[in-house]
């Protein structure tokens, strides 16, 4: 087997971009909600604090770090199912096998999307929202 049959950078780039678009269309709303989990919990904490104690108080740094860890865990467990869960279905799986890219390129694309691209984007959105919260509420 020739090496260009196993991995071709041009073919991989095209497949990766189509995989990225497919994953973005299937997962963008869930990723946005998971990324904004810190903001949602902050708003909930402040509203509950104002309702029951009458004081303005947001979560501390430890709770925000814990929330970040939980959101990354939720992201890492839900993303593969939303983006690649249909592969086990007969019709979709057969058409996925027929895509003109090698199995190695498909698996590499999955790993890059699941381990690097989506967590970096989600983490960036989460940290940007957390930075805005920290700038507005000391």
Over residues 30-49, the mean pLDDT reads 90
State what percent of residues in the chain have pLDDT above 90: 30
DSSP-assigned letter for residue 99? S
Helix (H, G, I), strand (E, B) or coil at 43: helix
Q: What pLDDT was estimated at residue 4?
A: 63
Q: What is the DSSP letter of 85?
A: G
The whole-number pLDDT of residue 133 equals: 86
Q: How far apart are alpha carbons 87 and 108 in whole angstroms?
A: 15
Q: Work out the angle at residue 23's Cα, subtended by the Cα atoms of residues 17 and 82, and round it to the nearest 5 degrees.
A: 155
pLDDT tens-digit map of 71-117: 999 998 999 888 888 877 777 767 677 777 888 888 899 899 999 99
Q: Structure pTM?
A: 0.80
Distance between CA atoms of 65 and 63, rounded to whole angstroms?
A: 5
> Binning pLDDT at 50, 70 and 90, where does residue 50 land?
confident
Per-residue pLDDT of 17-38, as tens digits, reads 988 998 999 899 999 999 999 8
- The yes-or-no verdict on residue 125 having pLDDT over 90 is yes
Instruction: Please name the residues in contact with 86: beta carbons below 8 A apart, sequence gap of 6 or more.
Output: 92, 93, 96
- Any idea which residue has 């995989």 for tokens? 19
Interacting residues of 8 by C-beta distance below 8 A, sequence separation 6+ = 102, 105
| Average predicted confidence (pLDDT) for the chain | 86
C-alpha to C-alpha distance for 4 and 1, rounded to whole angstroms? 9
What is the pLDDT at residue 74? 92
């Amino acid at each position: 087997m020739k090496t260009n049959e196993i991995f071709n950078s041009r073919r991989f780039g095209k497949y990766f971009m189509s995989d990225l678009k497919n994953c973005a269309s299937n997962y963008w709303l869930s990723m946005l909600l998971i990324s904004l989990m810190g903001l949602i919990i902050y708003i909930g904490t402040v509203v509950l604090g104002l309702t029951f104690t009458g004081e303005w108080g947001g979560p501390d740094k430890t709770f925000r770090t814990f929330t970040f860890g939980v959101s990354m865990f939720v992201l890492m467990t839900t993303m593969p199912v939303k983006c690649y869960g249909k592969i086990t279905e007969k019709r979709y799986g057969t058409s996925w096998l027929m895509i003109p890219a090698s199995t190695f390129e498909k698996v590499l694309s999955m790993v890059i999307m699941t381990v690097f691209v989506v967590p970096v984007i989600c983490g960036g959105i989460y940290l940007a929202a957390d930075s805005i919260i920290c700038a507005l509420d000391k």
